Amino acid sequence: MVDWITSDGLTAYETAVTFMEERATAIAAGEADEAIWLLEHPPLYTAGTSAKPADLTDPDRFPVHTSKRGGQYTYHGPGQRVAYVMLDVGKRGHDVRQFVQQLEHWVIATLADFNVQGEIREGRVGVWVQRPDKPLTASGAVAEDKIAAIGIRLRKWVSFHGISINVEPDLSHFSGIVPCGITEHGVTSLVDLGLPVTMDDLDLALRRNFSRIFTDKS
């Protein structure tokens, strides 16, 4: 079984981390079902295990939380759907790379439901969209913006942390960090792309596509 949990309002980051760690421990012990937790956080920055201090350009803007997930600095806030993924990777193929690819494909399939073509880039974590409406980059390439972030941690082969998709966050809040250490590309959201997608719309698409990408035991 996979429990789907949706929280209204804004969930404190510390509350989320405590819940995830306790649930992951229980899943590993066979004492709880796997879970997907959909929520929003108040404005905050998180520093992953590869975060560089210089990439926190405005340290006093929002609370900064050190995170045990992989990756660098990310922003979370209202209008961004966070999906925390507590799954038994040991029983789902025992392959971390495959699991991350499944998370990527899950995001891409979900975005496709809204006619958004998400793409993966070598050396750039997350999911990206091309922006032909913007000026070309300095190298003459089509501009690209990040629309979703991915960062996980495994404990005894159970995952926690997960993905975040920008629905309608305040994109100016990303300016206090160098998102994921990448300076030459920007960030976007579904609403920024001109799509009137609601959080409920996205949640339905996430759940529908999860069962297509993963072996859903629920």
Catalytic residues: 180
Asked if residue 175 belongs to a known ligand binding site, the reply is no
Q: 77: exposed, middle or buried (C-beta count within 10 Å: 0-12, 13-18, 19+)?
A: buried
**Pairing assessment for the beta strands 44-47 and 64-66 based on DSSP bridges:** parallel
Torsion, Cα of 65, 71, 73, 77 (10° steps): -70
| CB burial string 118-133: b at 16+ within 10 A, e below | beeeeebbbbbbebee
Asked if residue 150 belongs to a known ligand binding site, the reply is yes
| Residue 131: strand pairing partners | 143
Asked if residue 76 belongs to a known ligand binding site, the reply is yes
Asked if residue 164 belongs to a known ligand binding site, the reply is yes
Asked if residue 72 belongs to a known ligand binding site, the reply is yes
The sign of the dihedral angle between the CA atoms of 69, 112, 189, 181 is: positive
Asked if residue 36 belongs to a known ligand binding site, the reply is no
Asked if residue 84 belongs to a known ligand binding site, the reply is no
Closest CA to 167 of 130, 142, 198: 198
Asked if residue 163 belongs to a known ligand binding site, the reply is yes
Asked if residue 69 belongs to a known ligand binding site, the reply is yes
> Phi and psi of 171, rounded to 5°?
-65, -20
CA atoms within 13 A on the CB side of 98: 10
Asked if residue 9 belongs to a known ligand binding site, the reply is no
Which residues are documented as binding site?
69-76, 149-151, 162-164
Which residues are documented as binding site for substrate?
69-76, 149-151, 162-164
